A and B are shown apart, each in its own frame.
Chain A
Amino acid sequence: GAGVSQSPSNKVTEKGKDVELRCDPISGHTALYWYRQSLGQGLEFLIYFQGNSAPDKSGLPSDRFSAERTGGSVSTLTIQRTQQEDSAVYLCASSLRRLNTGELFFGEGSRLTVL
């Protein structure tokens, strides 16, 4: 499709399990972002990839969170040993180039529920 694609759209897991969330950005977009949105809250920045540069991981809340972007396209966000406070919607966005010269295009998110 033409937009940002995320999978799964919904994931229910048990506390302590690992989860992987996938993002397929818009073709040609060099910048890719992961955000977390808790119920009724704003968007919390997690990690940013720009081309082949080292990612900006400054928003990752703990070392249980990691992300990679293979071949400058698809990205996977991994949460190890999930906790109940990890329950949220995880949003991926991409943009044609660095911010301030373009807008972010968001996917519909992956809703994670940790029981």
Chain B
Amino acid sequence: GESVGLHLPTLSVQEGDNSIINCAYSNSASDYFIWYKQESGKGPQFIIDIRSNMDKRQGQRVTVLLNKTVKHLSLQIAATQPGDSAVYFCAEDPGYSTLTFGKGTMLLVSP
């Protein structure tokens, strides 16, 4: 389940479970969205992106869902592994020069 950690919401799952990380974005004009994974002590790493003319996109073990009506983005990770433990950020491109990042969700995967 989800719990609020010191600063970040945290999702704790068992290895092999499917994980769903949610994100609410703020700007209805945003037309491009990215999910990033950040492991401890490292910079964020691109996972998957989606444009606003799509509502679903699949990658390897990951799926991103976009609901523009309620400005909601989710990242689904299938068969979660311990190596998936990290902080996950959603980011939106509102058409300015840069991305706007969410605060992140920490995913903890227990063996």
Contacts and interface: CB of A to CB of B under 8 A. Distances in A.
Interface string B53-86: 0000000000000000000000000000000000
Contacts, number: 60
Interface string A45-64: 10010100000100100000
B87 to A, nearest CB: 9
Contacts of B44: 43, 91, 104, 106
Given A42-B104, A43-B101, A48-B97, A104 B46 contact: yes
A91 B43 contact: yes
**B: interface residue count bin:** 20 to 34
A42 B103 contact: yes
Nearest to B102: A42
Interface stretch (A12-20, A33-41, A66-74, A75-83): A33-41
Interface string B1-19: 0000111100000000000
16 contacts: A4-B43, A33-B98, A41-B104, A42-B103, A43-B91, A43-B101, A45-B100, A50-B97, A99-B93, A99-B99, A100-B32, A100-B95, A103-B34, A103-B46, A106-B44, A107-B43
| Minimum-distance CB pairs A-B, first 9 | A40-B7, A106-B43, A43-B101, A103-B46, A42-B103, A42-B101, A56-B97, A48-B97, A100-B32
